């Protein structure tokens, strides 16, 4: 591996005179967000077309499974997401407490009865299951939420690329059934889905890759032979960065071969 190849190296003191490529971003244009509402920012990642897809797929799958119409509307999908965002900001021990007399949040209770919210929560879909072929299900472990992930990624990729970026891993808390669920005891949220993220210094996500195994990363990287998992992630998440960008990461992503590959692309990595 990379660590074995580096054991024979010897360091010596020499003047540091790096010849770094100048950061280039001529093709970037700043998006005018003057007058944007919170909904405009939300729809940069999750737009009305996706909401229509969710309503359609949820209604079809609910009728298919239960024989009863769900009658979910696009506006109701918006309200559902809004309720989920509120619940993530104002946390109660149980979801039912948001409808309690003493603690209810009217922004939620005015839009849904408790029974309706739970019904939507159990029926929400972004694909029609029987339209997804078996071979695609085998290739993509996140096929049930792929349109949702792709639309969020589209919003991330629409952002301007800065001259400095950071790459790290995060855990998306999740305790439900998922073939990619992992347990990392050192993380604040130890159980969930591992996500590799490229972000700005302000924490704005530029790109991400949900971890499905090394094989899925190999398919998305040119000449992956001999690269460790960390180097594969660096290669994948640097694909949209501009020449001259400086990338910061921790030791998991820092390998000699990976750094050499970055230098060849005039991307400059600083790792621990």
The residue extents of the domains of the chain are: 38-135, 160-272
Percentage of the chain modeled with pLDDT above 90: 80
pLDDT of residue 187: 84
Instruction: Tell me 187's DSSP state.
Output: S
What is the number of other CB atoms lying within 10 angstroms of the CB of residue 11? 5
Task: Report whether CATH 3.30.160 matches the domain 160-272.
Answer: no
Q: What is the average per-residue pLDDT within 112-138? A: 95
pTM of the model: 0.87
Q: Do 261 and 237 form a contact (C-beta atoms < 8 A)? A: no
pLDDT of residue 3: 54
Which band of pLDDT confidence, cut at 50, 70 and 90, is reported for residue 272?
confident
Coil, strand or helix at 47: coil
The H-or-E segment that residue 168 falls in is strand 164-173
Q: What is the average per-residue pLDDT within 201-213? A: 95
């Amino acid at each position: 591996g990379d660590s074995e190849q580096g054991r024979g190296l010897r360091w010596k003191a020499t003047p540091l005179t790096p010849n770094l490529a100048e950061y280039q971003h001529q093709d970037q244009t700043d998006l005018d967000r003057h007058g944007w509402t919170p909904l405009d920012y939300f729809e940069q990642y999750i737009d009305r077309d996706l909401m229509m897809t969710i309503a359609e797929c949820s209604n079809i799958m609910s009728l298919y499974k239960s024989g009863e119409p769900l009658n979910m509307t696009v506006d109701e999908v918006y309200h559902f997401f809004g309720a989920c965002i509120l619940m993530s900001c104002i946390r109660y021990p149980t979801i039912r407490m948001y409808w309690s007399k003493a603690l209810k949040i009217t922004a939620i209770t005015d839009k849904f009865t408790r029974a309706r919210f739970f019904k939507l929560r159990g029926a929400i879909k972004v694909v029609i299951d029987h339209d997804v072929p078996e071979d695609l299900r085998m290739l993509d472990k996140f096929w049930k939420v792929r349109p949702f992930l792709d639309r969020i990624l589209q919003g991330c990729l629409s952002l301007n690329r800065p001259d400095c970026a950071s790459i790290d891993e995060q855990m998306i808390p999740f305790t439900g059934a998922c073939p990619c669920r992992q347990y990392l005891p050192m993380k604040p949220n130890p159980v969930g889905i591992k996500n590799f993220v490229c972000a700005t210094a302000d924490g704005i996500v530029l790109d991400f890759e949900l971890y499905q195994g090394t094989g899925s990363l190999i398919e998305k990287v040119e000449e992956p032979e001999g690269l460790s998992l960390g180097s594969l992630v660096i290669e994948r998440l640097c694909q949209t960065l501009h020449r001259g960008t400086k990338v910061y990461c921790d030791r998991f992503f820092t390998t000699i071969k990976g750094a050499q590959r970055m230098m060849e692309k005039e991307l400059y990595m600083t790792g621990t």
